[in-house]
Amino acid sequence: MEMAEYRRMAETEETHWWYAATRALLRQLLEPSLTPGGTFLDVGAGTGATGAWLADLGTLVAVDFEHEALAMAALIGAGAALGKLFFPG
């Protein structure tokens, strides 16, 4: 993805209806199956907002190929990782 698109996403994802609806739907579908206090992996996290709600339930690790996207994810509190992951197994 182009870096300009990541920047546009970061600027609008907190207020745009599409991003808000996506987050609400994911939370509605996934939260009943998640264990509070767990560690959650968001692969392809981009700027981090879509999976950021997972941090309310435990530890969130956001992974993406783009360093700049991960820097944006870190600004909203998502743990960011590139390369090796620390998950066992």
Cβ atoms within 10 A of the Cβ of 68, count?
A: 13
Q: What is the DSSP letter of 27?
A: H
For residue 47, give both structure tokens: 């700027």
Contacts (Cβ under 8 Å, ≥6 apart) of 60: 39, 40, 42, 51, 52, 54, 77, 78, 79
Residue 17's pLDDT is 92
pTM: 0.71
Q: Higher model confidence: residue 66 or residue 16?
A: 16
**Of the candidates 35, 83, 49, 43, which has an alpha carbon nearest to the alpha carbon of residue 61?**
43
Report percent pLDDT > 90 for the chain: 19
Ramachandran bin of 48, using left for φ above 0, alpha for ψ from -120 to 50, beta for the remaining angles:
left
Q: Per-residue pLDDT for 15 more than 90? A: no
Q: Which domains does the chain have, with CATH numbers?
A: 3-81 (3.40.50.150)
